Amino acid sequence: MNDTSRFLVVHGLPIIFGAVFLDQMGVPIPAAPWLLAAGALAAAGKFHWFMAILLSILACLIADFFWFYLGRYRGTQVVAVLCRMSLEPDTCVRKTVNVFTRYGYRGIIVAKFVPGMSTVTPPLAGMAGISAGRFLLFDGLSSVLYSSAFILLGYIFSNQIAQIAAALNQFGGGLLTIIVILVALYLLYKFWDRQRILRELRTAKITPAELGQMLNAGGEPPIILDVRPVLELEQDPAIIRGAMHLAMEDLEARQKELSRDREIVIYCDCPNEASSAKTALLLRRKGFTRVRPLLGGIDAWRKGNYPTDVWAKTTGAATTTVVVNNEQSSPAKDAKETSRTE
């Protein structure tokens, strides 16, 4: 038994609880290796597998309900904070919303097994108005499956895990160093790819003031695309006046609705406007040359007190609202409540 195994045998239960809790809270410390190790030790009769599963479930429920509660009362602000902690901060919300929207309550279960989505799903569930009891029911089922699956895998493949642990112990820090270097190179590549996309469109961005001037100048206005997920629009239905909603996933099917001869302005509410930037790149590759992301997205537009409309889910249309001192009038709020009710 190596030092790591002995340490896990002695302090295993608090470690399992802490690792799973931190993982579900969004801290980039994976819990799966600890659960696999616990299963391997349980196969050797050196660890209490039932208590490990129980503490793992408890850690999941505590962390998930914390984010669920914040999502209910803080909505998109909480999701934005969580996504800044991920490797793909500008697309993790969109991916999670797609799963949540497609699978409904089953999405809560599916998300637990998808890296980057487990922490984001609970606040989205809170935003969607799911009751606390129903959320805990499905999240509890998801936690049971998640914890049991990894501990069972560790139990089944205990011999292989023991061999890997022995190899690590034999090579000392050499093999571990190689793994750390590979992970670091992957992180550097993701960072470089993100910066490359932003650099390609940095010079092409349009400011809210420039867009406002274009809309007030008369003549043919630009096509304005809102690429935020539907769930975010339900929580924050304000869109730029005259804009149409077009999710990135629908771009291929709906590109014929766009004119190649008109200016196209794209916006979102994600950090660094990366979702709008990626959509702009996709459109350029399809032959749309006059495409520009909006600098600062919808938040910058509202801070400039420019006019907005209220997006209506049932018709896909928008009803006008007046913005005064950066506050929406009561019709906007009424429309938001009506959209939720319907």
Range of the domain at 230: 204-341
| 196 domain-assigned | no
**One domain for residues 23 and 139:** yes
Domain boundary among 118, 153, 171: 171
Domain boundary among 116, 146, 171: 171
| 198 domain-assigned | no
| 180 domain-assigned | no
> Within its chain, how far is the Cα of 223 from the centroid?
27
| 49 domain-assigned | yes
**One domain for residues 135 and 249:** no
- Model confidence at 95, pLDDT cuts 50, 70, 90, reads low
Q: Which amino acid is at 279?
A: T
**One domain for residues 167 and 210:** no
* pTM of the predicted structure, to 2 decimals: 0.56
> How is the beta sheet containing 238-240 ordered, strand by strand?
238-240, 308-311, 318-321
**One domain for residues 54 and 131:** yes
Structural domain total, the chain: 2
- 216-to-119, 298, 326 alpha-carbon distances in Å: 43, 18, 19
**One domain for residues 222 and 157:** no
Q: pLDDT (tens digit, 9 = 90+) per residue, 214-271? A: 888 877 889 999 988 777 787 788 899 989 998 777 888 888 888 888 889 999 876 5
Query: Per-residue pLDDT for 49 more than 50?
Result: yes
- Model confidence at 60, pLDDT cuts 50, 70, 90, reads very high
Q: What is the pLDDT of residue 116?
A: 65
Task: Write b or e for each residue in 175-197: b if 16 or more Cβ atoms lie within 10 A of its Cβ, otherwise e.
Answer: eeeeeeeeeeeeeeeeeeebeeb
| 311 domain-assigned | yes
**One domain for residues 167 and 218:** no
Q: What is the pLDDT of residue 28?
A: 73
| 236 domain-assigned | yes
| 91 domain-assigned | yes
What is residue 206's DSSP assignment? Answer: B
Closest C-alpha among 204, 177, 181, 184 to residue 283: 204
| 187 domain-assigned | no
Phi, psi of 155 (to 5 degrees): -65, -45
**One domain for residues 275 and 333:** yes
**One domain for residues 211 and 148:** no
**One domain for residues 167 and 225:** no
C-alpha to C-alpha distance for 272 and 260, rounded to whole angstroms: 26
Query: Per-residue pLDDT for 56 more than 90?
Result: yes
**One domain for residues 263 and 141:** no
Supply the mean pLDDT for the chain. 76
**One domain for residues 93 and 30:** yes
- Read off the pLDDT of each residue in 129-144 and give the average, rounded to a whole number: 91
> Within its chain, how far is the Cα of 270 from the centroid?
10
**One domain for residues 321 and 215:** yes
Domain boundary among 171, 193, 212: 171
Query: Per-residue pLDDT for 59 more than 90?
Result: yes
The CATH number of whichever domain residue 304 belongs to comes to 3.40.250.10
Q: pLDDT (tens digit, 9 = 90+) per residue, 173-229? A: 554 565 567 667 767 776 776 667 666 655 568 889 999 988 888 778 899 999 887
- Model confidence at 312, pLDDT cuts 50, 70, 90, reads confident
Query: Per-residue pLDDT for 164 more than 90?
Result: no
Which spans in 203-296 are helix H?
A: 208-216, 230-235, 251-254, 274-285
